[in-house]
């Protein structure tokens, strides 16, 4: 319900080095309000700063993952001088920068790996929220919809940035021009989803993947995420320079020393996350 406390609308729990962030407004398809959006951003930032958090799972309750921004959510109107229009040039762009784009950036910039466990429909901003995650698991009944063209508007929330990098421009245009629902299995075939599982196995599979990540060398994984994301915008010289810097940083971590020692001693490493 809309009057639920924010900590119920966005549930959070931490166990075994994994932070679970769960959207919980199933009655509106988990469309996100500004308050929910800001809470998710806050939790992702906290995950980056907390050495005890080594992976994040982003999921939802009900039959939808996220159907986009909740346009019916109350918003505090900006103060306007007398005679000013209700919407001035620059208002929409500012709203996107401060809202949907900031949410997607928080996922991309999170310093621990983020798994999307897509339990149902992911539409509009909800689809882009899933695609921004590092790994995407989807229930068999899930679907992804570039709904913007149905409303006569252009994709936002970083969609035109994310999708061409994931599946190329031609496939992206097909999805965005027509706005057809994309089944989870088709999303997997295109490379938007890592794995499709039965709905009753989604949470367990997400927990298994997250546990593997949480047991890994967290700083090395964070640097790998940074390298891969930057590589999509770098030339060879820049990518090689980034790689050299990342390896320099990684080799100074305690986990790297443990990994090398474990190799020499022929035993399994025990990583601590720093």
pLDDT of residue 2: 53
Q: How many degrees, rounded to 5, is the angle at CA 259 between CA 254 and CA 265? A: 125
In Å, the largest CA–CA distance within the chain is 76
Between the alpha carbon of residue 140 and those of residues 44, 186, 215, 270, the distances in Å are 27, 10, 28, 35
Domains delineated in the chain:
6-76+89-214 (3.90.226.10), 218-264 (1.10.12)
**Per-10-residue mean pLDDT, the chain, length 274:** 82 97 97 97 98 98 96 78 87 93 98 98 98 98 97 96 97 98 98 98 98 98 97 96 98 98 97 97
Dig out the tokens for 209 from the structure. Answer: 């993947």
Distance CA 17, CA 271 (A): 12
- Give the per-residue pLDDT at 85: 87
pLDDT at 95: 92
Beta bridge partners of 19: 14, 56
**Residue 82 has what pLDDT?**
87
> DSSP 3-state assignment of 117?
strand
- On whether the pTM is more than 0.85, the answer is yes
Residue 93, classed as helix, strand or coil, is helix
SS3 content of the chain, % helix, strand, coil (to 5): 50, 15, 35
Residues 6+ apart with CB under 8 A from 189: none
């Amino acid at each position: 319900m809309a009057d639920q406390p924010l900590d119920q609308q966005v549930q959070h729990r931490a166990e075994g080095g994994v932070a679970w962030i769960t959207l919980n407004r199933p009655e509106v398809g988990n469309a996100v309000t500004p308050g929910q959006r800001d809470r998710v951003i806050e939790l992702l930032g906290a995950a980056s700063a907390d050495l005890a958090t080594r992976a994040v799972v982003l999921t939802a309750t009900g039959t939808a993952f996220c159907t986009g921004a909740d346009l019916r959510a109350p918003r505090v109107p900006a103060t306007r001088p007398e005679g000013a229009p209700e919407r001035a040039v620059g208002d929409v762009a500012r709203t996107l920068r401060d809202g949907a784009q900031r949410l997607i950036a928080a996922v991309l910039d999170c310093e621990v790996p983020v798994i999307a466990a897509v339990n149902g429909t992911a539409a509009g901003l909800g689809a882009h929220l899933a695609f921004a995650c590092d790994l995407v698991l989807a229930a068999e009944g899930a679907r992804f919809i570039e709904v913007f063209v149905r409303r006569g508007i252009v994709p936002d929330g970083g969609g035109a940035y994310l999708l061409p990098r994931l599946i190329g421009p031609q496939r992206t245009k097909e999805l965005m021009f027509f706005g057809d629902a994309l089944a989870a299995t088709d999303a997997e075939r295109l490379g938007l989803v890592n794995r499709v599982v039965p709905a009753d196995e989604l949470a367990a599979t997400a927990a298994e993947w997250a546990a593997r990540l949480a047991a890994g060398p967290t700083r090395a994984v964070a640097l790998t995420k940074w390298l891969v994301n930057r590589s999509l915008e770098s030339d060879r010289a820049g990518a090689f320079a980034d790689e050299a810097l990342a390896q320099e940083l990684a080799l100074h971590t305690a986990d790297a020393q443990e990994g090398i020692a474990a190799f020499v001693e022929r035993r399994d490493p025990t990583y601590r996350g720093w």
